[in-house]
Amino acid sequence: MTALVTGSAGGIGSAIVRKLEREGFEVKGLDLVNGFDVTDPEAWEQVGSVDLACLNAGVLTGSNDIAHLTDDEYRRAVGVNVDGVVYGVRRLDRVMPRGSTIVVTASLAGLVGIPDDPIYGLTKHAVVGFVRSVAEQLAERGIRIQAVCPGWADTGLMPNGFKQELTDRGFRLLRPEDVADGVWAAYESEGTGGAWIVQPGRDPLLYGFKGVPGPR
């Protein structure tokens, strides 16, 4: 069995790689440190078939003040967090075999508001919506797709001082290994288009989206 993991050099990415290797996968890590840019559509055209793809690369803007958000901060977040997923799914849909699975690392910030980084929240809401919306057409070709929505995790992604601020506010941080377990739970599930919540002290949980009222 083969797998790929984007953002594989980061805390969560490396934990996912270790988890998959323990489960018997041959894993290819794709990360800027080894020359792979998820925002580059041409780079994705060089990616071949795998049985499991974990689209995990993501960045924060580090800004909670929309009035002072820079163009570069905004474009980088959208590029990595959204374009990197869309380009990846587009390519993988073309090359993955029937019975394969894509797991996208979204965030709890894709299900609730996040005043600490509104643009991060925007991108993760987009990712969750994309996974839910694209699942049906992927299923027609025998490919499942799931999103994993962890809370804050203790990784190098956090800006300086933010970890301490969260701790002071009473947040319990996930370990990267907890998120990797969530990825595995999503992979082992039978459904598609779901969002799996990962929170400290809980088993990964499939989120139950409430329907919206129809017309009268």
Active site residues: 120
The answer to whether the beta carbons of residues 143 and 96 sit under 8 Å apart is yes
The answer to whether the beta carbons of residues 5 and 29 sit under 8 Å apart is yes
d(CA 87, CA 168): 38
Rounded (5°) CA angle 132-96-124: 30
Written as six digits, the tokens of 50 are 């795998």
d(CA 68, CA 62): 11
The answer to whether the beta carbons of residues 5 and 54 sit under 8 Å apart is yes
- Name the helix (H) or strand (E) containing 20: helix 11-22
First-to-last C-alpha distance (Å) of the chain: 50
What count of Cα atoms within 13 Å lies in the side-chain half-sphere of residue 37? 6
d(CA 97, CA 51): 7
